[in-house]
Structure 1
């Protein structure tokens, strides 16, 4: 017989010790088993392969449980160390044969074709999601791999279709936004045109009433471009309006604050050093140290203002460097020394001026004293003669 069964020992697996079944032809085996209800030798081997009693007294639930247990061991996708695609194919064929035998035992009068259809229609619970749908060729494991690849291709195609729909939806949304922006811009243009027409009407009415007849500078050219003829008129007019209304850029205000704060700190150091002697006494040195400490705190705040100013100043050449206490102290010492020299020179000039004034006064009073002395001498002489 061409459909004889051959027995092999499973992979030399001594821990299980089960005989596995190799079916030379699948379809003839099902036809042979469907020829009678009696348990044949090949069917007994199928029961043994499923680790069931070979008398055929197992229920369908027991057969299914035994098949699931072996599927966990030999299924190629189970991840177990005993997984083998060929051995699992033999276990699966034996399971189908046993199911076909049990179904024929329940319905012995039905034809072979009906039993074959029932056996082929029996779905495995754990392989529903692996149904190849008639795709592929080769062993069941090969067909399953081919079917998984087809499912991957289908999923990629669905993803591409979904992305295309999303792009189309986004493009439609962008088109709606562009249309809305266009409507808003057109509405703004209409409002601007309406305002311009209103202003023009008001100007014409004022001209008709003669409101512009007595304006200063009528008939004379405008002098709004005297500063720079190459400047943009619109920019110049806007800047002029801002300046006339007291507006100043933030960096200008910050620069002014920096200059004022720097002048106050330097005047404070200069006055404090000028009040102290040269050389300083220990008490004066302690006073000078306290003054320098307070100035150091103010310089820290001033340097933070310098950082903010450098961030907003429009030109790199206008940026400022940090202020140092040592440089400011040197400036104050030199300023105090120069102040002392200026005071000394002023005192010398004042002394010389007073000397000159005294000389002038003495020069004016000397002739008067001579005349008064001569007059008194003549009077005394006349008295003596009388």
Structure 2
């Protein structure tokens, strides 16, 4: 029975780490390895291989990409919240400001909001591209991420924002 693509991939990671000298002078070298944290997503036959890689300070690319994606998703969510707060503050400022600038300021606010929505949609599309790359190399199907529906997310966010009267 031949090796699966996943097995070939792990073998290649181990071989590359060996060639780079990542297994030289490891803590606990030559001693039995204790595997305390059982990863429920990892097949039993791969536990030792992943533990050796972990002890060598090496993470598979998909794990690093997962961390990056989680950071990007969190940053995108924060950007959305910051825009919402800014929008509410700006609306309050305009409503309490001089009446002669009300229409002009509302048009500018609407324009700024539309610009944010377009830029935010582009960020989500870029995230979707990263998610597709991640899903293509992540060997654990249950850890793969869902693609976001850009237009629906933007529509929902826009509805959650305060209305900006166009004058």
TM-score, normalization by structure 1? 0.26
1:256 to 42, 55, 67: 67
The answer to whether the 8 A contact 2:62-2:134 is kept is: yes
Which structure has the bigger radius of gyration? 1
The answer to whether the 8 A contact 1:299-1:325 is kept is: no
Structure 2: any 5+ residue segments left out of the alignment? Answer: 1-27, 92-105, 163-167
2:156 to 321, 330, 337: 330
Q: Residues of 1 paired with 2:143 and 2:37: CA distance?
A: 22
Q: Residues of 2 paired with 1:226 and 1:259: CA distance?
A: 25
**2:34 matched to which residue of 1?**
224
**1:266 matched to which residue of 2?**
77
Structure 1: any 5+ residue segments left out of the alignment? Answer: 1-215, 217-221, 338-386
SS in 2 for 1:224: coil
1:318 has 2:128 as partner: no
Q: Residues of 2 paired with 1:269 and 1:329: CA distance?
A: 13
Alignment RMSD, CA only?
Answer: 3.4
The answer to whether the 8 A contact 1:266-1:332 is kept is: no
**1:283 matched to which residue of 2?**
108
Report the CA distance shift for 1:278/1:329 in structure 2 as closer, same or farther (over 3 A). farther
Structure possessing the higher relative contact order (Cα contacts under 8 Å, 6 or more residues apart): 2
Q: Report how many residues are paired.
A: 114
Q: Residues of 2 paired with 1:321 and 1:301: CA distance?
A: 14
Deviation at 1:319?
A: 2.2
**1:155 matched to which residue of 2?**
none
TM-score, normalization by structure 2? 0.54
**1:246 matched to which residue of 2?**
57
Report the CA distance shift for 1:310/1:297 in structure 2 as closer, same or farther (over 3 A). same
1:308 to 133, 144, 148: 133
